[in-house]
Chain A
Amino acid sequence: MVNEFADFNTLKELLGVTDGNLASHAKALEAEQYIMIEKQFIGKKPNTRYMATSHGRKAFKDHIDALEKLIQKR
Chain B
Amino acid sequence: MENYLKDIQDIKKMMDKSSQFISLSGLSGILAGVYALAGAIFIKYIDALQEGYVIVDSYSFKIILGVALAVLLLSIATGLLFSIRKARRVGETVWNNTSKRLITNFMIPLVTGGVFSLLLIKNQYYGLIAPITLIFYGMACVNASKYTLRDVRYLGVTVIVIGLAATYFMGYGLEFWALGFGVCHILYGSIMYFKYDRNK
Q: Give per-residue flags for A46-74: 1 if the beta carbon is below 8 A from chain B beta carbons, else 0.
A: 00000000100100110010011001101
CB atoms of B15 and A71 under 8 A apart: no
How far apart sit A28 and B136, CA to CA, in the bound complex (Å)? Answer: 46
Q: A54-B90, A64-B11 in contact; A71/B18 too (CB < 8 A)? A: no
| Contact status B19-A1, CB under 8 Å | yes
Q: Identify whether the interface residues of A are mostly helix, strand, loop, or mixed.
A: helix
Residue numbers in A under 8 Å from B150 (CB-CB): 4
CB distance from B53 to the nearest CB of A (A): 44
B8/A67 in contact, CB under 8 A: yes
- Least CB separation from A67: chain B residue: B8
Asked if A2 CB lies within 8 Å of chain B CBs, one says: yes
Q: Mark B1-17, 1 if CB is under 8 A from A, else 0.
A: 10011001101101100
Complex interface: chain B residues within 8 A of A64 (CB): 8, 11-12
Q: Which residue of A lies closest to B4 (CB)?
A: A71
SS class, residues of chain B in contact with chain A: helix
Nearest residue in B to A68 (C-beta to C-beta)?
A: B8
**Are A61 and B90 interface neighbours, CB within 8 A?**
no
Number of A-B contacts defined by CB within 8 Å: 29
Q: Which residues of B contact A60 (CB under 8 A)?
A: 15
Contact A71/B8 with A2-B14, A54-B90 known, Cβ cut-off 8 Å: yes
Contact B1 A74 (CB under 8 A): yes
Cβ distance A35 to chain B, nearest Cβ, rounded Å: 15
Q: Which residues of A contact B9 (CB under 8 A)?
A: 68
CB-contact partner of A1 in B1, B5, B15, B90, under 8 A: B15
**Taking the nearest CB of chain A, how far is it from the CB of B6, in angstroms?**
10
B15 touches A72 (CB 8 A): no
- CB under 8 Å from chain B, chain A span 1-27: 1-4
A57 to B11, CA, bound (A): 12
Q: B14 contacts which chain A residues (CB < 8 A)?
A: 2
Extra inter-chain contacts (12) besides given A2-B14, A67-B4, A72-B5, CB under 8 Å: A1-B18, A1-B19, A60-B15, A61-B15, A64-B8, A64-B11, A68-B8, A68-B9, A71-B1, A71-B4, A71-B5, A71-B8
On A, residues with C-beta under 8 Å from B are 1-4, 54, 57, 60-61, 64, 67-68, 71-72, 74
In the complex, 6 of the A-B residue pairs with CB atoms within 8 angstroms, ordered by the A residue number, are A1-B18, A54-B90, A64-B11, A67-B4, A68-B8, A68-B12
